[in-house]
Amino acid sequence: MTIPDNGTPDADAVAIVRREYWHLVEHIKLLIDCLKMGTVTKAQLYALPYGELDDVGVDEVMIDVSRLSGDAAIEKALLHLLDFELRHENQAGVMAQRLPGVICIRHPDEDELRRRVTEINRLKKAFERTILQLANHTDTRFELVSKAVPNLIRKAFTRQIMIGEPGYSRIGFSWVRLHSQSKAQNKQFWIDKLELAKSANKHSASHADWVKSIDMEKRQLMNANDAELFRIRRPLRITPMMNIRDENKKSRQTTKIAHSPIWFINQDVTIGELGPYIGQAKADAAAPVIERLHLYKVL
């Protein structure tokens, strides 16, 4: 959706985000009512701890898992569909709650249920596109979305609801360590990026401090050789994965991030177990050039 410019672009943007948000919430609530019309035949979830502010950027070495089944599992799964707002001030908004698992239900109107999920997933993608159109800079978009829906966990709100395919016969679970990595670029590219970042939060009382911190980060790059390359290498959370056996594919095995339960309608599957994660913290060989951005020199 295009953000109109009628003299008050910020107010227009906030109004559009808020309207699309509540429209999508109503669709999710109607889906929950529809799901409750079905009969649960199998339910198995693995509840994980909520991420706290102190956990951001910390390499996890232990993740406890609480196994839920039956009524407790279906109640948790339905609540999870609406679990996209911060619960308390110490909860980390960048760490959306994960809830791996499988719910199998017998439902009298499978087509209607699938239609609702498809529409919700379409609206989620549309909502994400609207946010990306708010502004070019990430911090400005964050500020506008926070005004529209103050406690929104955007990642949790926009992730897709998963419905099992007819060929799926078994869902297993495992843990994986992931990284988000950008393309390698020279120092001038990143200096230009930092300069552009100065325009964010222009009307904020702390804008002068923001500009000062950006200038300090630019100085970290100024002494670099013109031939040196840099890239963002951002560690992601230790992630639960679904390992899916698909009888309709030659490879038979596929994986998806298990951010939420996968729902099966009028279909049965075998469910594997997810144990606690026990690992070791891994540090990068070199310190970042700019810690805030996780910007590293390419060695």
Listed in sequence order, the residues at least 6 apart from 26 whose beta carbon sits closer than 8 Å to its beta carbon are: none
Domains: count for the chain: 1
- Tell me: pLDDT of 53 over 80: no
Q: What is the pLDDT of residue 10?
A: 83
1 pLDDT band (50/70/90 cuts)?
very low
Cα 271 to Cα 107: distance, rounded to the nearest angstrom? 20
- Give 3-state DSSP helix, strand, coil % of the chain, rounded to 5: 35, 25, 40
Q: By mean pLDDT, which of 15-24, 121-130, 290-299 is the weakest? A: 290-299
| pLDDT tens-place string over residues 142-173 | 889 999 999 999 999 999 999 999 999 999 99
Cα 269 to Cα 103: distance, rounded to the nearest angstrom? 10
3-state secondary structure of 243: strand
The answer as to whether 65 is a domain residue is yes
Biggest CA-to-CA distance, the chain: 67
Query: Dihedral of CA 181/184/190/192: which sign?
Result: negative
The answer as to whether 3 is a domain residue is no
Cβ proximity of 173 and 46 under 8 Å: yes
Q: What is the pLDDT of residue 2?
A: 43
The answer as to whether 164 is a domain residue is yes
- Highest mean pLDDT among 17-26, 89-98, 211-220 belongs to 17-26
Q: What is the overall mean pLDDT for the chain?
A: 88
Residue type, 188: Q
- Tell me: pLDDT of 117 over 70: yes
5: its two tokens: 């410019």
- Tell me: pLDDT of 266 over 50: yes
pTM to 2 decimals? 0.80
Q: By mean pLDDT, which of 98-112, 121-135, 235-249, 252-266 is the weakest? A: 235-249
Helix axis angle, 9-35 to 110-132, nearest 10°: 160
Mean pLDDT of 178-206: 82
Q: What letter would DSSP give residue 52?
A: B
Listed in sequence order, the residues at least 6 apart from 58 whose beta carbon sits closer than 8 Å to its beta carbon are: none
- Tell me: pLDDT of 7 over 70: no
20 pLDDT band (50/70/90 cuts)?
very high
252: left (phi over 0), alpha (psi -120 to 50) or beta: left
Cα 181 to Cα 215: distance, rounded to the nearest angstrom? 24
225: its two tokens: 């050789």
Strands, DSSP E only, in 89-236? 101-106, 162-163, 168-176, 179-181, 185-186, 229-235
Q: What is the pLDDT of residue 138?
A: 82
Closest CA to 277 of 92, 41, 67, 65: 65
Cα 109 to Cα 266: distance, rounded to the nearest angstrom? 10
- Tell me: pLDDT of 128 over 80: yes
The answer as to whether 1 is a domain residue is no
Cβ proximity of 161 and 99 under 8 Å: no
Range of the domain at 80: 9-297
- Tell me: pLDDT of 51 over 80: no
Phi, psi of 269 (to 5 degrees): -140, 160
Q: What percent of the chain has pLDDT over 90?
A: 59
Query: Dihedral of CA 139/141/143/149: which sign?
Result: negative
The answer as to whether 268 is a domain residue is yes
CATH of the domain at 178: 3.50.14.10
Cα 222 to Cα 214: distance, rounded to the nearest angstrom? 13
